[in-house]
Amino acid sequence: MTVACTAALFRQTVVLLSGLLMTFAVSAQLTEDIRDIESSIIKIYTTSAAPDYFTPWRLMNPSQSSGSGAVISGNRILTNAHVVADASYVQVQKHNDPARYQGRVQFISHASDLALIVLDDDSFFDDTPALEIGELPEPNTEVFVFGYPVGGRTLSITKGILSRVEQQVYAHSGEFLLAGQIDAAINPGNSGGPVIVDGKIAGVVMQSAGGGRTESLGYFVPPDIVRHMLTDAGNGQYDGFPDLGFRTQDLESPAAKAAYGLRPEQSGVLVIKVFANSPADGVLRENDVVLSIDGYDVAGDSTIRLSRTLQTNYKHAIDLKQIGDGVPVRFSRQGEIQDATLTAQRRQASYSLVRGEQFDALPEYYIYGGILFVPLNMNLIKRWGADWTRTAPVNLLHARSQWSSPEKQEVVVALQVLAADVNLGYHDVRNWIVDSVNGVPVRDFYQFTRQLRDNKDPYVVFRGETGYQVVVNHDQAVASEAAILSQYRIPSAASDGLFDAGQLAAQP
């Protein structure tokens, strides 16, 4: 072997050794960085008891579950809302510490599936450094997921890649918000754990892709949504995400664009609904075309471009606003371009006749003549089980697709009949939607219950949409109330706060 060959081989060996040493150094540093984060990852134990919407005066059996969280500034633990929803007792546990400490929910945003837990004893946080909220990483960035999934008691760390970022339906709340998708393994118990990039929180794990059609796919709440929640929590009062009060459809058809006054090079979305008493009411009209929102041009497929790598639904530009913020909107009305600023307001209770799922709240109900009446909401519909889209009554599911209006804001359901003489002939009535009472259309549950409470007619006639009627003798309804409640062991004829149930008995 020549001297030149020997020298070349030596140089290659030196380069190889240098590379190995650098790899070891990076790996050691990475391991050390992970170790620094471990002490800030918290395991959360929750005991919860959700209301039973089939018998709304009762709670279902208490259940225990666990989740994950991360310590952030202010001696707070950031986690998912669904980890502590309907919680009656919350405990937290540090990494490598067998002791459990009692915590309490300081703030919860079910819409964004985020919550903050605090402890009365701040010494818990002496050896748990607060993690910073970072920025949303670029796609194809390597991420680490920390948490306490099922299958063991100790902290688990998985690695994955951020594959895409777009609007997703949050499983907990049904909200359509920005979410990141990663291919790291996510299992029950991971919920609420942080997604870490460069030592900072780049998201909060919230759900995995279900249905058995995908493998190792999960979603996390991105930093923008986390910051929105933290800002909302600043005054301790939940405001949530704003809404401008209009709905649109995609406008990609050349014929439709021309019909509504757009030139071929213009793009936007078609306004198909403007809700009364909303920020858009009196400003936008049906068949207007929204061209831009908050300075972002709206494409015909309802997307806006936030950055070179991020294009998502225009709703995200509204989601980032706080209540009271101004939102500039440019729109076209039959080819005439106009500009307006809408003031972001709290969302109405529901834009549909069916209210969204609620948590940490007791259901409303009213029993009159032995008939259990309730307002229709997603809590009730989901009471039919995980396959509720197939098993819930069709008439209740159909109501979800109907818009609310000032004349009709809510659906009232005769859920079941508590058999008694006063309701003889109607014992088989179940899940029946009441359309009117004594000829007065039902507007909402509030108006419905007060009409019954204040009734002076000898008979009350409930009528459904198809014309089917249920007739109750009012004096018998009043006289039999106490006996029916006693027979079925029901504490009150009305839910707490609906009104004084005793007033009904006082009617002549």
Q: Tokens for 253, please give them.
A: 């058809």
Assess contact for 222 and 114: CB atoms under 8 A: no
pLDDT of 18 > 80? The answer is: no
Residue 72 half-sphere exposure, CB side, CA atoms within 13 Å? 24
Asked if the model's pLDDT at residue 28 lies above 50, the reply is no
Range in 164-168, 211-215, 255-259, 271-275 with the lowest mean pLDDT: 211-215
Greater pLDDT, 32 or 253: 253
Q: Which two tokens stand for residue 204?
A: 């909060």
344-370 pLDDT tens trace: 998 876 788 998 899 988 999 999 999
* Residue 17 pLDDT > 90: no
What is the token pair recorded at 230? 């933290």
Residues 28 and 34: their CA atoms lie apart, in Å, by 10
Pairing of strands 194-197, 142-147: antiparallel
pLDDT of residue 216: 65
* Superfamily for domain range 242-346: PDZ domain (2.30.42.10)
Is 82 one of the annotated active-site residues of the chain?
yes
pLDDT at res. 505: 37
Neighbours of 234 (CB within 10 A): 9
Distance CA 388, CA 384 (A): 5
Give pLDDT, residue 310: 86
Look over the chain and give the mean of its residue pLDDT values, rounded to a whole number: 88
The catalytically annotated residue of 66, 86, 113, 183 is 113
Residue 500's pLDDT is: 53
Structure-token match 């949530």, residue found: 240
Assess whether 126 carries a catalytic annotation.
no
Q: What local confidence, expressed as pLDDT, does residue 27 receive?
A: 40
- The answer to whether residue 20 scores a pLDDT higher than 70 is no
pLDDT in tens, 442-499: 999 999 999 999 999 999 999 999 999 999 999 999 999 999 999 999 999 999 988 7
Give the CATH fold of the 40-240 domain: Thrombin, subunit H (2.40.10)
- Give the residue, 475 or 158, on which the prediction is more confident: 475
User: Tens digit of pLDDT for each residue in 376-427?
Assistant: 999 999 999 989 999 999 999 999 989 888 899 999 999 999 999 999 999 9
Per the structure block, which two tokens stand in for 159?
């690695």
Kindly state the helix (H) or strand (E) to which residue 35 belongs, with its residue range.
helix 3-38
> What secondary structure letter does DSSP report for 281?
B
- Edge-to-edge strand list for the sheet holding 412-417: 366-368, 371-375, 412-417, 432-434
Fold of the domain spanning 366-505: N-terminal domain of MutM-like DNA repair proteins (3.20.190)
Mean pLDDT of 134-151: 90
% of the chain at pLDDT higher than 90:
71
Give the pairing of strands 87-94 and 101-109: antiparallel
Q: Exposed, middle or buried, 353 (CB in 10 Å: 0-12/13-18/19+)?
A: buried
Give tens-digit pLDDT for 219-239.
999 999 999 999 999 988 898
Exposure b/e, 412-448, CB count within 10 A at least 16 = b: bbbbbbbebebbeebeebebbbbbebeeeebbbbeeb
- The answer on pLDDT for 36 being more than 90 is no
Q: What share of the chain is helix, strand, coil (3-state, %, to 5)?
A: 25, 35, 45
Question: How much is the average pLDDT of 288-292?
Answer: 97
Please give the C-alpha separations between residue 129 and each of 122, 126, 428, in angstroms, as whole numbers: 12, 8, 60
Output DSSP code: residue 457: S
pLDDT at position 210 is 58
Report the pLDDT value the prediction gives residue 31, as an integer from 0 to 100. Answer: 61
Give whole-number Cα distances, 30 to 34, 144, 158, in Å: 6, 11, 14
Torsion 415-421-425-428 (CA) sign: positive
Residues 6+ apart with CB under 8 A from 147: 41, 67, 68, 155, 156, 189, 190, 191, 192, 193, 205
Domain range list for the chain? 1-38, 40-240, 242-346, 366-505
Active site residue 278: no
Catalytic member of 66, 82, 278, 292 = 82
**Residue in 40, 191, 404, 495 annotated catalytic:** 191
Region 272-284: what's the mean pLDDT? 93
Phi/psi region, residue 100 (left: phi>0; alpha: psi -120 to 50; beta: rest), is beta
Residue 24 has pLDDT above 50, yes or no: no
Q: pTM, whole model, 2 decimals?
A: 0.83
Q: Would you say 84 and 115 are in contact if contact means Cβ atoms under 8 Å apart?
A: yes
| Element of type H or E holding 153 | none
- Sign of torsion, CA 393 113 318 311? negative
3-class secondary-structure state, position 448: helix
Measure the CA–CA gap between 221 and 239, rounded to whole angstroms: 18
More confident residue, 121 or 298: 298
Contact (Cβ atoms closer than 8 angstroms) between residue 217 and residue 208: yes
Number of other CB atoms surrounding residue 451 within 10 Å: 15
DSSP 334-374: TTEEEEEEEEPEEPPS-SBSSBPP--SSPPP-EEETTEEEE
